[in-house]
Amino acid sequence: MPYSRNNDVTRRRALVIAPVAAGGLAALFWRTEEPSAASAPLVTVVEFDDKGVKQGAVQRRRVLRSERAWRSALTTQQYWVTRRGTTDTPFTGTFYQQHAAGLYRCVCCGNAVFSSNTKFDSNTGWPSYWAPLATENIFTQTDTSYGMTRTEVLCRLCDAHLGHVFDDGPPPTRLRYCINESALRFVAGASV
């Protein structure tokens, strides 16, 4: 085939595009591949049964799933809140105005995170608590999204985004754990 400027451009494109395409396919495979549960780190959480009876501290493997598995296990709203860190629209759920006795579990992994005993009406439109059910069951980290500095609250067992904690709550802690309803599953009747 005789040399042509068009052939040279096409070869250059192929040489540039091929590695990028291969990297993209590798990244896609990596993001959807199911992580190995056996390699997950151990974390300590306090377990509670559905009646709210404390079972004690145990070591469990962190819950690891692929993005595909999380998407299939959760509703669209639950996925975006817990796995992508978005926020429920205030006053749209039912938990913010719920007063029934029970406990609240992480919607992703079932870890017991909050109790109706520490729930209060914050007039913010989100379920609010002055303390977690067990401090071992959550962790916090600095969140600088949206041009603000806040303290993000996450599930210790699966790293789900639960909400944020603020220092404008009632006694005895003066904290307000402002939690997304989409991150919670309510278990009625628990006495914790």
The answer to whether 128 and 120 have CB atoms below 8 angstroms apart is yes
Instruction: List, in sequence order, every residue forming a beta bridge with 187; answer none if it has no partner.
Output: 103
Tokens found for residue 127? 């379920």
Tell me the C-alpha distance between 88 and 151, whole Å. 17
Q: Which one of 109, 155, 158, 178 is the catalytic residue?
A: 178
Residue 35 DSSP class: P
- In the residue annotation, 109 being an active-site residue is answered as no
Quote the CA–CA distance of 81 and 84 in Å, as a whole number: 6
Query: 146 near 100, Cβ under 8 Å?
Result: no
Active site residues: 178
